[in-house]
Amino acid sequence: MSKKKINIQFVSGSRADYGIMSGLVDKLKKNKFIHFNILSIGSHNLKEYGNTFKDININKKKLDIINIQFSTKRPEDISIFSSKLISKLTENFIKRKPNLILLLGDRYEVFVTSYVATLFKIPIAHFCGGDETIGSYDNSFRYAISHLANYHFTTNTKSKNKIIKLINSKKNVYNFGHISLNNITKKKILSKKEIEKNFKLKFGKRSILITFHPLTKEKNKTKKYFQNLLSVLTNLRKTTLIFTSSNADHEGRIIKKMINNFVMRKNNAYYVNSFGQKYFFSVMHYVNGIVGNSSSGILEAPSFKKAVVNIGNRQAGRIFAKNIIQSSYKTKDLNISINKIFDKRFNKKIMKVKNPYYKVRSLEKTYKEILKIKNYLY
């Protein structure tokens, strides 16, 4: 192993990507041959999304924050934010001089980062490339990031083969599975009482976790379709409804306003901006099922043997485990699908489900490969 230190930077734009990468972050920041730092951008630094940069577990000297306050009310708001981000990333890369940048996923702020890193000729290690989310514009960003990346850590064989076809090479394309799933087996499940106390909520005999993101490829449909979901949820009897925040996409604020109005009228409904991974996995453990269009229902819920109602086509193209109940936006379909969460026969069946994104020692293999890349760069 080369003893020369290398500068590795993880650019994190949200609670989601940090939670997934937290295990790898813990290993890299302890390596004495690596100058490791995290750059917090995007919704991490917005109060309305919980200021989740505070959950980043690293020495403050190794945490940089690009604090650009922005709205998602209009598409042009996101475009203006992106232009400002380019300038701030430029300043940070000049200061930090990273030799390798770690990026995860498909968000617009991650795409912007990959663009600037490419201009600076900084190698990029991209995680979760090759996945499909046909119903979201994130899909296009993900493919663009993969084109710009130098190293590719995919979550499954299907995605690996897509990357190989995309870049016309097998070199530096790995399939170690989804590294967040290693966190599940190592995280302690916290007590219901602790969760209830910290987030001022109350689990019921029947509880559902709901995360619904804006429909970025279906113009002006978010409000209508989310209202369909709320109309079904309002008729559920003796069921606790736990909402989490949507992501910072156009029309995200519409969803948040509708949730707040709903929660104010319902004594069985709660809204939590962000649980953070520490609590999120524990909440997932205790609820009966998950409802919405979030990737967590596809990627992580199978490991908890939980029923998931996946609504619409935002996650279309991903590999679905047998715990996934696919639903349209129609109230009739939503009602049937959500009630299936409590079906004893279905729950017995999914106890045998296998998570298609899980591989043994995913985190350890990924870490070792990053160290090989480090040695190759020097």
3-state SS assignment for residue 170: coil
First to last CA, the chain: 10
- Distance in angstroms (rounded) separating the CA atoms of residues 37 and 88: 16
With a CB cutoff of 8 Å and minimum separation 6, the contacts of 15 are: 43, 44, 49, 50, 52, 55, 274, 276, 277
Residue 306: φ, ψ to 5°: -105, 145
Q: Which ranges of 168-269 would DSSP assign to H, the alpha helix?
A: 180-186, 192-199, 222-233, 252-265
Q: What is the pTM of this model?
A: 0.92
- 125 neighbors 103 (Cβ within 8 angstroms): yes
Encoded tokens for 97: 């001089």
Encoded tokens for 73: 């009310």
- Distance in angstroms (rounded) separating the CA atoms of residues 238 and 85: 46
- The residue type of 280 is F
- Distance in angstroms (rounded) separating the CA atoms of residues 228 and 351: 30
Residue 328: per-residue pLDDT: 97
Residue 55: per-residue pLDDT: 87
Residue spans of the domains in the chain: they are 6-177+359-377, 192-350
6-177+359-377 shares its CATH topology with 192-350: yes
Residue 377: per-residue pLDDT: 80
Q: List C-alpha distances in Å: 47 to 112, 230, 252, 361.
A: 22, 25, 14, 36
CATH topology of domain 192-350: Rossmann fold (3.40.50)
CA triple 288-290-291, angle to 5 deg? 130
Closest CA relative to residue 152, chosen from 89, 105, 97: 105
- 136 neighbors 251 (Cβ within 8 angstroms): no
Residue 2: per-residue pLDDT: 52
CA triple 319-320-321, angle to 5 deg? 125
| 6-177+359-377: CATH number | 3.40.50.2000
Question: Mean pLDDT in runs of 10 for the chain (378 residues)?
Answer: 81 91 94 96 85 88 93 88 97 97 96 98 97 91 97 97 97 96 81 96 97 90 97 96 91 93 96 89 96 95 97 95 97 98 97 95 96 84
Considering only the C-alpha atoms of the chain, give the largest distance between any 2 of them, rounded to a whole number of Å.
62
Closest CA relative to residue 78, chosen from 111, 56, 50: 111
Encoded tokens for 325: 């109940």
Residue 3: per-residue pLDDT: 65
Residue 361: per-residue pLDDT: 94
- Distance in angstroms (rounded) separating the CA atoms of residues 335 and 33: 55
